[in-house]
Amino acid sequence: MKTIFRQPKAAWAVAFSCIIAFMGIGLVDPILPAIAQKLNATPSQVSLLFTSYMLVTGVVMLVTGWVSSRIGPKLTLLLGLILIIVFSALGGMSSTVNQIVWFRAGWGFGNAFFISTALAVIVSVASGGTASAIILYEAAMGLGMSVGPLLGGLLGDISWRGPFFGVATLMAIGFIAVIVLLSDVPKPKRKSSILDPIRALSHGGLLSIGVTALLYNFGFFTLLAFSPFVLHTDEHGLGFIFFFWGVCLAITSVFIAPKLQERFGTMRTMYAILFLFAADLVVMGIGVSSKLTLVLAIVVAGAFLGVNNTLITTAVMEVSPVERSVASAAYSFVRFVGGAIAPWLAGKLAEWYNPQVPFYFGAFALLLALFVLFNGRKYMGNVK
């Protein structure tokens, strides 16, 4: 475990930027009800902030490897960061929900270049092997997601525009950190094709994990994007709830996931976590009118998500014979589609039926994810 934190400055520079990037996701979460109220929008309309962001992120993932292999990983990271800075600032200056949705799409464009390249760079420059690099990446994700909602709640209490400008400011710091601390990372020896990620999905193991992550994201983003509307809590309250959720995610991704993986194996641990997360969403559906039940279930879900995020990312990096950057782009393309559909669908299901249904549907999607992962075990090779 000590080797995880003994990393060269290049790995720390990218990890620091990842913290800020993932803070960007959590910063917006506490202000979703406020945006709906101030701009006279429904939950499903506001959820399009996630949908446009995730959909564009997923599609653009297909070209990130093509771009990175031509201009180099460092310039690709910087391109992603500058796009996030510009579009998050524009989001803060918006006057309608539709404007924010479009600017979030631009934000997702930058996010695709940054996230896919950041994971590949950390894996290539970190010491201690792939597993240690991925844990470092997941630690950055967990820390960003835990601090993000807390800061978002504080800024959102001043104005719903505050978190957008907060992201722009923080990403500007990340931009400077990458310029100063990250040396030029060599370009891949081979210039990749735009079609490489699509071809990579012909590998049964990578496709199975991608579809598993797509279905898993139905549960993840139902919790992240829809639960703020049924908690009936102000920005500060939501910030603290998702802060503790993120703390659980960070702790389990760094300290618990490796131990479970070593003792029970990657696949068996993921089977159990997917089932437990589905059960947690069922509890949220049953107790949707109880704030205490929802809060406890959200925090507990953070523990499940931390373990699963680390193990599924490890599996992606190890299962496919293609380059890591290509595997990351292919997997991210598939999984972000789930992240795009889930927030909008959760809001619509609540409008069509009742607030319980989105949680039940998320649980059903997780059970499907469990089935897909189990059915694809024969393609997993060394991932046990």
Helices within the chain (DSSP H only): 9-28, 32-38, 43-71, 73-92, 97-125, 129-158, 162-181, 196-200, 204-221, 227-231, 235-251, 257-264, 266-286, 291-319, 324-352, 357-375
Which pLDDT band, with edges at 50, 70 and 90, does 5 fall under? low
pLDDT of residue 186: 66
Where is average pLDDT lowest: 34-48, 168-182, 268-282? 34-48
Residue 237's nearest CA partner among 298, 191, 188 is 298
Residues 341-361 have pLDDT tens digits of 887 888 888 889 999 999 999
Per-residue pLDDT band for 362 (boundaries 50, 70, 90) equals: very high
262 Cβ contact partners less than 8 Å away, ≥ 6 residues apart: none
d(CA 175, CA 164): 16
Q: Which residue ranges form the domains of the chain, and what is each CATH number?
A: 2-182+191-379 (1.20.1250.20)
Q: Residue 372's closest CA among 182, 197, 230, 206?
A: 206
Average pLDDT, the chain: 82
